[in-house]
Amino acid sequence: MKYLPVLFILILFMAAACDEPVPPDLLPEETYKRMFVEFTIINQYDELLLQGRSREELRDKVYEHYGVTPEEFRNSHRYYESNIERQLKRIDEINLMMRAERDTLIEAEKRYHFNRRTPADTLRQRILNR
């Protein structure tokens, strides 16, 4: 009998420690991560890059592209955040995805500028024809 209150408290702690129930509309983890990346990029956009569009408009396009409602994303986000250790690992994976994307863009920009450079002979001709 004297262990009953301790047992009751232990059961309460165990119930509180249980993970959040899986929502029926849970997004696959890869889809969630891709959308998370897109929303992060949208949130970091400079006003000039938005070109008069709102961030909300861009978010709506992301939802439309993935065929997901804002409610489905919120529910999935809440669920994935409920396990903080796993979410931190997921954030690290997302950071790697974003770095890879950035590196791809930097390489594409370098190739673009390399292909548009003026050949040395053309520069020489311009100087001589002055």
Per-residue pLDDT at 2: 58
Residues 10-61 pLDDT 10s:
454 444 445 568 888 899 999 999 999 999 989 988 888 788 889 999 999 9
- In a domain, residue 29? The reply is yes
| 4 has a pLDDT exceeding 70 | no
Per-residue pLDDT at 16: 47
More confident of the two residues 113 and 124? 113
Q: Is the pTM of this model over 0.85?
A: no
Q: Are 8 and 16 in contact (CB under 8 A)?
A: no
Burial class (CB in 10 A: 0-12, 13-18, 19+), 27: buried
The three-point CA angle 57-58-59 to 5° equals: 90
- In a domain, residue 38? The reply is yes
| 120 has a pLDDT exceeding 70 | no
- In a domain, residue 71? The reply is yes
Residues spanned by the domain of 31: 20-100
Tokens 């938005």 belong to which residue?
A: 50
- In a domain, residue 123? The reply is no
The set of residues, in sequence order, having a beta carbon less than 8 Å from that of 50 and lying 6+ positions away, is 58
More confident of the two residues 86 and 119? 86
- The whole-number average pLDDT for the span 104-109 is 91
- In a domain, residue 4? The reply is no
